[in-house]
Amino acid sequence: MEETFAGRLPLPGAEFHERFFRAQGIPEDIVMGVRHVLEQQLDADLSRLDASDDFSRNIGFFFEFDSMADVEIVCALEETFSIKISDEEAANAHTIQDIVDLVWCKVQLRT
């Protein structure tokens, strides 16, 4: 994990939102909710996360420790945001950006 995040400074929640998602109009509570779910489910400090980090590539090591982590993440996102995520949607969400976009889209459809 250290290798992946080497050279990256930790970003508090507001800065993470500002740097990667504010310009897209995604609310801070959505971004921080997703990050919180990921931190809880992966039991990791993700303050050095980048929107382009990819679970199928550079941060795939998280799933080496827990093969059910992806299912647990989807379930936690569904519960936290009162949404439903299909298996296909989950399979196509590889990056942090993908996950935040998916959750934001689902939350907007819910209202």
Q: pLDDT tens-digit profile of 78-104?
A: 999 999 999 999 999 999 999 999 999
Q: Which CATH superfamily hosts domain 2-110?
A: ACP-like (1.10.1200.10)
Give residue 53's pLDDT: 94
Token pair 């990791």 in the structure block, residue = 44
Calpha distance 111→108 (Å, rounded): 6
Contact between residue 53 and residue 95 where contact means Cβ atoms under 8 Å apart: yes
Read off the pLDDT band of 69 (50, 70, 90): confident
Give residue 66's pLDDT: 65
The DSSP code sequence of the chain is -HHHHTTPPP--HHHHHHHHTGGGT--HHHHHHHHHHHHHHHTS--TT--TT-BTTTTTTTHHHH-TTHHHHHHHHHHHHHT----HHHHHH--BHHHHHHHHHHHHHHH-
12 alpha-carbon distance from chain centroid: 15
Domain ranges of the chain: 2-110
